Amino acid sequence: MPTILSLILFLLAGLAGSSAIAAEPELTITMGGTSVRISRAELLARRDVATVTVPHDSAYGRPMTYRAVPLRALLADLPPSAADTIAARATDGFVSQLPRSLIDGASVPWVAVEDAAHPWPNLPGQSVSAGPFYLIWQHPELGHVSSEQWPYALAGFAEVASPLQRWPGLAVDASLPADAPARRGQAVFIVNCLPCHRLAGNGEGVAGPDLLRPMPAVTYFTADGLRALIRDPAAVRTWPAQRMPGFAADVVSDADIDAVIGYLRVQAARRTEPSP
C-alpha cells in the first residue's frame, strides 16, 4: 500500500508536469467561427516555416533574422471570413487593428516564432524579448505599415469588424468637411494610438490610459506638450513602468501629430456639448 509521502510526491510530480505543459506558449487564432490554439513547437514544425530577415526591425531597431510562418497561410487554414479587420492581441493589453487589405496587400506579414533553445535578445531597454510570437513584415514600406502594426508578445489573432463599425464613437461628426484635419487625425489615431488607448471607452487596448476619460488629454496637455510626448515620451515624463514608444517623423509626421491633436479636440468638444 502506498504511503502518504509517496502519494504526495506523486501528486507534486503530476502538478509539475502539468505546469510544464501549460508553460508551452500557444497562439490562438479565431476565424470563421472557429478557434484554434497552435503551440510554438507546432508552428516551428510546419512545412512552410522559413528563415526571414528584416533589414530594419520595428521593435529592435536593427536588422533581425527569424524563423517565421506566413500569416496568410495561418489564416487560410481556418474557415473563410468576411471580416474586414484582424485584431492582433498581445499579452500586455496591446491590440492592433489590422485591415484585411493590409494583410493581403503588397507588404508580407509573418508570425515570427521564438525558439526556446535559441531565444531572441531582450528588447532595447527591457528585460524581455519580443517573443514568443511577433508579427513582422517584409517590405513594410510598400503598404505603409506603421510601427504599431508590428505587435510583439502576441497572444493571437481574431476576426473583427472595422474599428468604426465596432466603436462608432471614434468617428468624427458626419458634418465635418471631408478635408478637415480631424478626419486625417481620426485615421492616424486608429492606426497608431488605438492599440494602447481608448477614447471615452471606445476601443479595447488597455496598455495606456483613456484619452477622454475622466478628463480629455487636450485639457491637461498643451499642444506643444502633446507634440513632444508623441515624438519622445521620455523627454516629457518618465517612470519605471513607462512603455509608450516615441514616433519618428517617418512614421508619424508633424502634420499627422497636429491632425491627431485636432481630432482629440473635436472629440473632447463633443463630450462637453450640452444635450439637446
Q: Give pLDDT tens digits for 147-200.
A: 999 999 999 999 999 999 999 999 999 888 888 999 999 999 999 999 999 999
- Cell 499642444 belongs to residue: 223
Find all residues with CB under 8 Å of 11, minimum gap 6, and list them.
none
Q: Which of 92-96, 107-111, 202-206, 232-236 has the highest mean pLDDT?
A: 107-111
- Is residue 66 within 8 Å of 52, Cβ to Cβ? yes
CA–CA–CA angle 185, 193, 250 (5° rounding)? 70
Which of 1-5, 86-90, 116-120 is least confident?
A: 1-5
Residues 6+ apart with CB under 8 A from 50: 67, 68, 69, 70, 110
**Residue 10, helix vs strand vs coil:** helix
The neighbour count for residue 82, using CB atoms within 10 Å, is 8
Please give the Cα distance from 219 to 225 (Å, whole number): 11
Architecture of domain 24-161: Alpha-Beta Complex (3.90)
- Is 80 exceeded by the pLDDT of residue 20? no
- The more confidently predicted of residues 271 and 245 is 245
What does the domain layout of the chain look like in residue ranges? 24-161, 165-272
pLDDT at 14 over 90: no
Q: What letter would DSSP give residue 244? A: P
CA-based torsion, 106, 186, 252, 161: positive or negative: negative
Q: Which residues contact 97 (CB under 8 A, 6 or more apart)?
A: 85, 86, 87, 160, 162, 163, 190, 191, 194, 195
Structure pTM?
Answer: 0.85
Contact 247/230 with Cβ under 8 angstroms?
yes
Which CATH code fits 165-272?
A: 2.60.40.420
